Amino acid sequence: MNKLRRYWKRIELFRVISFNTGAGLMRLLFTFGTNKIIALWLGPAGTALTSQILNAIQGLQGFATLGISEAVTRYTALYRKRDSRLRSFLLRSGRMILYISILLGLFIFFLAPQVSHYLFGTHSHTSLVRVMALFSPVYAYQMLLTAVLNGLEKYRRLSVINVMIHATGFVLMIFLASMWQLQGALWAVVLTPVVSFGLSLLVLSPYDRRLLVAPLQNGNERFDGFIKRLAPYLAMALTVAVMRPFFSLYIRNAIITQFGPDGAYTAGYWDAIRKISTFYFVFIAPVFSVYYFPRLTRLVNNAEWINEIRHMLRHFYVWIFAGFVLVYFLRRWITLLVFAEDYMPINALYAWQIAGDAIRVFSLLLAYRMWAKALSWHFVVSEVGYWLLYTGLVNLFMPVRGLTGVMEAYVWANAGYLILMLIYFRKELLAGITALHKG
């Protein structure tokens, strides 16, 4: 029976991986094309500045949705067979997102000159920031749509939408960057979520569309008990949704300031090596969200958790680690393929990025336990602590070691995060290992 169970787990894991591979390859292809255009036409400085506006949009989405995508997915799955409960839940969550996104958009609209100066060091992109602010409800609704389809387990339709988003970004980047160079590339980043959201509506079923417009219909909108129920997920998801883009903006601006006239180019190298990382995380992240996290929510005791970690290490992490090694040895060709000759200085950064990513993936095997057990404040403290440690080490290492110091800070921050996870879960880990040995 145990052999049969292990075999089925292995088949299920491989099924999840293979299911995401096709869509992941398509997204990777369009992302590669978009990055190649930026690299050839705009160079490292273009990479840095387009990443600035992209991080700003991600931060806007995080604040506007309060980071409740995971909660929307969970409760959509819970109420999927109870239509009235599902509509009531989406009415409240969607309307809350709508209100916050409008207020946030107005706030950014009137502070657009200051936001433009913070992002780009100039007021010349004020109109771009104002358009981004006006579209904030659309950015938020795109995330709501994704969360709902996840909860309904409509993975194929969601995969189509994700491919459409990346294809839209690729087409807009070609068209606008060819006409207006950097300014066009920035507009392509701002307009991609809007155009892709409109295209997404075309592939939705009538039922999906009715769910999406539920917040716009008349209904009871009391939020007191609703927010209390979502509080743990709000705290965790909002932390993730906001921390990454906010601190990415901070570190990128610190690099630009540190290196003076060459700051934009240097920041472009930093963004380039991080984009290489996002390419292989296209295949890593879905395994955690689609396979590992749901399994953790169903585990009964510590022994089962240890057994699941061991299973992931044997049948998933070992292949990921082998992939990391392969990427390192092929780094020169990967840089030329994805970017251009101007980006060759990033070859010296691969080892640090890969080491940090390898540690990060391992630590996620422990960190996802916090999501499964809704340990909201522990998660928030650890996540904020990670980013504070990372930026603190950047400020410490960068003046001495340059861009290499930024990469070293990434490795040591992830190592510190892993040590924190091991300390926090030490009792559960020891109890699980002991139980397995006795069994």
279-322 pLDDT, tens digit per residue, is 888 778 877 876 777 677 667 678 888 888 888 888 888 999 99
Cα angle 294-372-295, degrees, rounded to a multiple of 5:
25
State the helix-helix crossing angle for 2-64 and 155-203, rounded to 10 degrees.
30
Q: What was the pLDDT predicted at 305?
A: 85
Among the listed residues 91, 94, 84, 98, the one whose alpha carbon sits nearest the alpha carbon of residue 219: 91
Can you tell me the mean pLDDT for 367-390? 85
What pLDDT is attached to residue 228? Answer: 66
Is the pLDDT reported for residue 82 higher than 60? yes
- Distance from chain centroid for Cα 160: 18
pLDDT at 398 over 70: yes
pLDDT of residue 17: 55
| 171-189 pLDDT tens trace | 999 999 999 999 999 999 9
What value does the mean pLDDT take over residues 398-425?
95
pLDDT confidence of residue 397: 97
Q: Side chain identity at 53, as an amino acid letter?
A: I
pLDDT at residue 143 is higher than 70: yes
Q: Which residues of 309-337 are buried (b: 16+ CB within 10 A; e: fewer)?
A: bebbeeebbeebeeebeebeeebeebbee
pLDDT at residue number 21: 63
What's residue 322's pLDDT? 94
What does the pLDDT read at residue 438? 72
Mean pLDDT of 116-135: 93
Higher pLDDT, 266 or 234: 266
pLDDT reading at 221 higher than 60: no
Instruction: Find the mean pLDDT for residues 4-26.
Output: 58
Q: Residue 9's CB: how many other CB atoms inside 10 A?
A: 17
71, pLDDT greater than 80? no
What's residue 136's pLDDT? 93
pLDDT at 58: 85
For residue 429 the two structure tokens come to 């880990």
pLDDT of residue 140: 87
Of the two residues 363 and 227, the one the predictor is more confident about is 363
Q: Reply yes or no on whether the pLDDT at 73 is more than 90.
A: no
Q: What does pLDDT average to over the chain?
A: 84
The mean pLDDT of 392-400, rounded to a whole number, is 96
pTM: 0.78
pLDDT (mean) for 161-180? 91
Nearest to 337 by CA among 28, 38, 31, 32: 32
Q: By mean pLDDT, which of 76-85, 161-170, 331-340, 414-423 is the weakest?
A: 76-85
The DSSP code sequence of 42-80 is: HHHHHHHHHHHHHHHHHHHHHHHTTT-HHHHHHHHHHHT
pLDDT at 121 > cutoff 70: yes
Q: Which residues of 252-291 are buried (b: 16+ CB within 10 A; e: fewer)?
A: bbbbbebbeeebbbbbbbbbbbbbbbebbbbbbebbbbbb
Residue 42 in this model has a pLDDT that exceeds 80:
yes
Tokens of 105: 């958009």
Which of 307, 284, 279 is CA-nearest to residue 295? 307
Q: Which residues contact 300 (CB under 8 A, 6 or more apart)?
A: none
* 31-57: b (≥16 Cβ within 10 Å) or e: bbbbbbbbbebbbbbbbbbbbbbbbbb
Taking the CA atoms of 281, 282, 284 and 289 in sequence, report the sign of the dihedral they define.
Answer: positive
Please give the average per-residue pLDDT across 351-374, as a whole number: 89
**Residue 423: what residue type?**
I
Range of lowest pLDDT (139-148, 378-387, 407-416):
139-148
pLDDT of 166: 86
Mean pLDDT comparison of 1-10, 405-414, 424-433, highest-scoring range? 405-414
**Which residues lie below 8 Å from residue 233, measured CB to CB, with a gap of 6+?**
68, 70, 71, 74, 374, 376
Q: Which residue's structure tokens are 């307009």?
A: 191
**Residue 215 pLDDT greater than 90, yes or no:** no
Q: What percent of the chain has pLDDT over 90?
A: 40
Question: At residue 257, does pLDDT exceed 80?
Answer: yes
Among 62-71, 102-111, 142-151, 194-203, whose mean pLDDT is lowest?
62-71
In this prediction, residue 422 carries a pLDDT of 93
